Amino acid sequence: MALMPPLVDPAPAPAPRRLAFDGVVFLSPFPWRGCWQTPHYLAQALAELGSPPGLLITPRPRVQPGAWRALEPPPAAHQPNRLTLWTLPNWDHRTLRRWSVEWAARQVNAAARRHGFRQPLLWVFYAKGCSRLVRRLGWPYVYHCLDHFEFGDPAEQRELAHGAVAVFAASPLLQREFAAGGIGAHWLPNGVAMPWFSSPSPPPPRSARTRPRIGFAGTVNRHLDYALLLAIARQLPACELVLLGPAFTAGMSRPQSRLWRDLRRQGNVHRIGFRPAWRLAGYIREWDVAVIPNLTNRWSQCANPLKLWQYLALGKPVVAMSTPSLAHHSDVCYLAGSTEEFVAHIQTALAESQSATGRLIGALAQRRIARADAFAWPRILAQALACLQPTGSPTRLPPGPEPAAH
């Protein structure tokens, strides 16, 4: 299996305590049906690798829109083993009553035994109430931090990180923040399910293209820069701005809510609701440019967007606000530091995309696809497991190439 490109490792983590385990149990705060997140992809990748066996524990969705209730399973030859609990002591501290933790622990233990696990490894993703369940299970565990500390309980996060056999951080900035607290962490970037984006997929049921399309695929929420999106829609009126994904307005500030209302009123803005990750390729292929319009705050600086890899897997020009994670891929992305620069990069990317229309895929697009393939989920998971298993020499997880100018 090819390795990911070597990444700059800003704060090398010590080799984790190597141990023997006969199964991996992923403790996810995200429901299986809905917007897929890192725990789902890792569990799917483990099923594809075939060894060791895995088990994905997820809560039931609190809200199930009709489109989610009838959601078809992902098109994969190997599906992960799953256990759905009616509650998980992850997000809501009101569930942390003793009976809830005891009940969840019994269910997880029983599921692990049913799948033949005698020495399971627990994989934990968020510190917001799950430490009691982790202590109750008593298994060795990995702590995998996906977001900035302020989106969890910092004290609980430190407790989990100190007791983990290994700590993985989704971005270099998160890795540095762990290092500042005396905790060695490995940089484990997000990736992409390449089979969903490399195989042909039918175009969405839309009218014929009449103008260039600028697209965003992801959740419409408080992390987006709506002033930036509004500037794109107004300054590029000849283009169509497509927003593909569910909208969660809870947590938006009042200015964000006003800008969101103004954005929806623009005549060249087209909204598409939730689509499962394995259906995204057909929509993104129709776009000329893909964007990541996140706010430039602490959350986005620590994030490693899943959508980046989905865009790159289709060879699309990507325009994003610059962050430490994306800086390592500046040779295949257009990175901006301001709204004006973002819009200018979109115009450059549109010229690139339109010049390739009707021709074979260009060298830059091929390089983007190759970069995404290097970050396919099975590759990432295989390297993480190599750090944990008892054979072989300790390995450092590689991230991506040095930043490069266009």
pLDDT the model gives residue 399: 41
Q: What is the pLDDT of residues 112-166, one digit of tens each?
A: 999 999 999 999 998 777 888 899 999 999 999 988 766 567 888 888 999 999 9
What confidence category does residue 173 fall into, taking pLDDT thresholds of 50, 70 and 90?
confident
> Which domains are assigned to the chain?
23-191+376-388 (3.40.50.2000), 194-370 (3.40.50.2000)
Of the candidates 228, 226, 263, the one whose C-alpha atom is nearest the C-alpha of residue 344 is 228
Mean pLDDT of 161-188: 90
Give the bridge partners for 211, in sequence order.
none
Whether residue 177 has pLDDT greater than 90? no
Of the candidates 21, 25, 26, 41, the one whose C-alpha atom is nearest the C-alpha of residue 112 is 25
What whole-number distance in Å separates Cα of residue 350 and Cα of residue 211? 11
pLDDT the model gives residue 299: 86
pLDDT the model gives residue 307: 96
pLDDT the model gives residue 394: 35
Whether residue 170 has pLDDT greater than 80? yes
Q: Lowest mean pLDDT: which of 65-79, 80-94, 275-289, 343-357?
A: 65-79
The count of other CB atoms within 10 Å of the CB of residue 303 is 25
Q: What is the pLDDT of residues 295-330, one digit of tens each?
A: 998 888 888 999 999 999 999 999 999 998 899 899
What whole-number distance in Å separates Cα of residue 70 and Cα of residue 99? 32
pLDDT the model gives residue 390: 57
Whether residue 6 has pLDDT greater than 70? no
What confidence category does residue 395 fall into, taking pLDDT thresholds of 50, 70 and 90?
very low
Whether residue 106 has pLDDT greater than 60? yes
Mean pLDDT of 276-286: 92
- % of the chain residues with pLDDT over 90: 55
What whole-number distance in Å separates Cα of residue 67 and Cα of residue 69? 6
Whether residue 215 has pLDDT greater than 70? yes
Whether residue 85 has pLDDT greater than 90? no
Whether residue 363 has pLDDT greater than 90? no
Please provide the average confidence, as pLDDT, over all residues in the chain: 84
Q: What is the pLDDT of residues 52-65, one digit of tens each?
A: 999 999 988 765 55
Whether omega before 52 lies within 30 degrees of 0, making that bond cis, reads: yes
Residue of 367 and 391 predicted with greater confidence: 367
Residue of 207 and 138 predicted with greater confidence: 138
> Which residues make Cβ contacts (< 8 Å) with residue 115, sequence separation at least 6?
23, 53, 55, 81
Q: What is the pLDDT of residues 10-47, one digit of tens each?
A: 455 555 556 789 999 999 988 888 889 999 999 999 99
pLDDT the model gives residue 392: 41
What confidence category does residue 5 fall into, taking pLDDT thresholds of 50, 70 and 90?
very low
Residue of 210 and 314 predicted with greater confidence: 314
